């Protein structure tokens, strides 16, 4: 029986747990402690804004996973996790931001109760949510245990999406189309950027039809002019100006699933160099999509795109994309494979990526990207439906 407001069936969670346990066995891990909130949600359904305190999922080789966190958040776990109440544990508030004790002391007690004193315990060492202090306390509390770096172990199991997950990403893509089109329609000289972003947020949270919008894992990225030469600037209260390009990197979000998309608008007459770059970029994107076939590798997508740019005399460094799906702040990427020349991950049907072949030049930026689904045969499917081009207004 599935508890609470869990978005997927028990069979879907069983599938995920079975995949993760196979990976644990390959890595020689007896028990896994997962702190990444995306991995927690993927395994248990837990969904709450509580990742600023210590929490996680304990996954043994047998039995149900155990959600562990702050007591007040354990009540949210009861509402959102599929497990029964005896698999949800909360620690007292006297542990929170205390200089006298640490939540990992409480976690260690639960691990001892599971007989893990001498176990090989996997932890996500390279993770936003697992601090150096947390690891030090856990090691001190369990001196006979062996700690294994299990960074991204669960992330890699998430790479191929189930049909239910793909359905959620398609819903997110409909919301993405709405917010990107709204941004392009409203953009004009004199419009304060914060007012435009307010409209973007409203449209995204409102959603489309009965598909309500969740908060995206990254806030709207909307830089203009010289600011658009940088990839990750947000907004301020400055009015938009004629003679500048603005890119909108946005994503709808449905039940924590994302479908990012970028489009660029120029207010006025674009310089010829930008128009030339647009043609190279669009040709490169088409080549990348053609290479995004099952059996090919992520590097094949990147290399196909970069070869076109090189033909047009454009030099570009850095990766060209990453897997997307279920995520929490600060990142909607899944932090596993990358679309770049040195990554040889084999493409399989059901993988979803943000194909991100953006160009950041000395005086302007041009972002045109797609959320793509690796199909059963043939080139990747693009999940959003905003025309792929540089938009020009005025």
SS (H, E, C) 34-92: ECCHHHHHHHHCCCCCCCCCCCEEEEECCCCCEEEEEHHHHHHHHHHCCCCHHHEEEEC
Among 201, 199, 227, CA closest to 215:
201
Please provide residue 217's backbone torsions phi and psi, each rounded to the nearest 5 degrees: -70, -20
State the Cα–Cα distance between residues 247 and 225, nearest whole angstrom.
9
Query: Is residue 380 helix, strand or coil?
Result: coil
Among 164, 184, 171, CA closest to 213:
171
HSE toward the beta carbon, residue 379, CA cutoff 13 A = 13
Q: Which residues of the chain are modeled with pLDDT < 50?
A: 1
State the Cα–Cα distance between residues 33 and 20, nearest whole angstrom.
12
Cis omega (within 30 of 0) on the bond before 330?
A: yes
Query: Is residue 353 helix, strand or coil?
Result: strand
**Global pTM value:** 0.97
Complete edge-to-edge strand list for the sheet that includes strand 31-34: 88-91, 66-70, 56-60, 31-34, 120-123, 146-149
Contacts of 236 (CB under 8 A, 6+ apart): 193, 194
State the Cα–Cα distance between residues 11 and 15, nearest whole angstrom.
6
- Contact (CB, 8 A) for 123 and 33: yes
Contacts of 185 (CB under 8 A, 6+ apart): none
pLDDT of residue 332: 98
First-to-last C-alpha distance (Å) of the chain: 58
State the Cα–Cα distance between residues 114 and 31, nearest whole angstrom.
10
Contacts of 120 (CB under 8 A, 6+ apart): 28, 29, 30, 31, 145, 146, 147, 148
State the Cα–Cα distance between residues 327 and 230, nearest whole angstrom.
23
123: β partners: 33, 149
pLDDT of residue 4: 57
148: β partners: 122
pLDDT of residue 317: 87
pLDDT per position as a tens digit, 166-213: 999 999 999 999 999 999 999 999 999 999 999 999 999 999 999 999
pLDDT of residue 5: 79
104-133 b/e (C-beta count within 10 Å ≥ 16 → b): bebbbeebeeeebeebbbbbbeebebbeee
pLDDT of residue 198: 98
pLDDT per position as a tens digit, 277-304: 999 999 999 999 999 999 999 999 999 9
- Contact (CB, 8 A) for 10 and 26: no
- For the chain, domains (ranges, CATH) are 10-157 (3.40.350.10), 163-393 (3.90.230.10)
Contacts of 342 (CB under 8 A, 6+ apart): 299
DSSP state of 208: B
pLDDT of residue 375: 98
pLDDT of residue 3: 52
- Contact (CB, 8 A) for 134 and 102: yes
pLDDT of residue 38: 98
Residue 372, Cβ density class (10 Å: 0-12 exposed, 13-18 middle, ≥19 buried): buried
Please provide residue 382's backbone torsions phi and psi, each rounded to the nearest 5 degrees: -90, 130
Q: What's the mean pLDDT when you consider all of the chain?
A: 97
pLDDT of residue 1: 40
State the Cα–Cα distance between residues 320 and 318, nearest whole angstrom.
7
């Amino acid at each position: 029986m599935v508890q609470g407001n869990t978005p997927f069936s028990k069979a879907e969670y069983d599938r995920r747990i079975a995949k993760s346990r196979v990976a644990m066995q390959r890595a020689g891990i007896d028990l896994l402690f997962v702190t990444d909130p995306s991995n927690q949600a993927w395994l248990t359904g837990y969904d709450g804004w509580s990742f600023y305190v210590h929490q996680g999922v304990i996954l043994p080789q047998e039995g149900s996973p155990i959600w562990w966190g702050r007591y007040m958040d354990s009540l949210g776990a009861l509402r959102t996790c599929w497990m029964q109440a005896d698999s949800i544990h909360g620690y007292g508030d006297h542990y929170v931001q205390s200089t006298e004790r640490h939540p990992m002391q409480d976690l260690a007690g639960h691990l001892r109760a599971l007989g893990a004193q001498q176990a090989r315990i996997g932890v996500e060492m390279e993770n936003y949510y697992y601090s150096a202090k947390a690891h030090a306390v856990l090691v001190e509390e369990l001196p006979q245990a062996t700690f294994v770096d299990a960074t991204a172990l669960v992330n890699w199991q998430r790479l191929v999406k189930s049909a239910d997950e793909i359905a959620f990403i398609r819903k997110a893509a409909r919301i993405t189309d709405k917010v990107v089109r709204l941004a392009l329609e409203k953009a004009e000289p004199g419009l304060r950027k914060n007012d435009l972003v307010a409209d973007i947020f409203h449209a995204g949270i409102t959603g489309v039809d009965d598909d309500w919008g969740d908060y995206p894992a990254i806030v709207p990225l909307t830089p203009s002019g010289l600011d658009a030469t940088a990839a990750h600037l947000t907004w301020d209260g400055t009015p938009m100006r004629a003679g500048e390009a603005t890119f909108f990197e946005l994503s709808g979000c449905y039940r924590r699933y994302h479908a990012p998309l970028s489009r660029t608008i120029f207010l006025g007459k674009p310089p010829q160099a930008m128009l030339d770059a647009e043609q190279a970029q669009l040709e490169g994107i088409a080549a990348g999509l053609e290479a995004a076939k099952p059996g090919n590798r992520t590097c094949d997508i990147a290399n196909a795109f970069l070869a076109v740019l090189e033909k047009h005399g454009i030099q570009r460094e850095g990766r060209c994309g990453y897997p997307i799906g279920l995520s929490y702040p600060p990142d909607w990427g899944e932090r596993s494979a990358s679309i770049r020349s040195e990554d040889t991950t084999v493409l399989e049907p059901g993988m979803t990526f943000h194909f991100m072949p953006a160009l950041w030049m000395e005086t302007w930026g041009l972002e045109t990207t797609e959320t793509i689904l690796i199909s059963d045969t043939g080139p990747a499917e693009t999940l959003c439906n905003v025309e792929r081009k540089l938009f020009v207004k005025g």
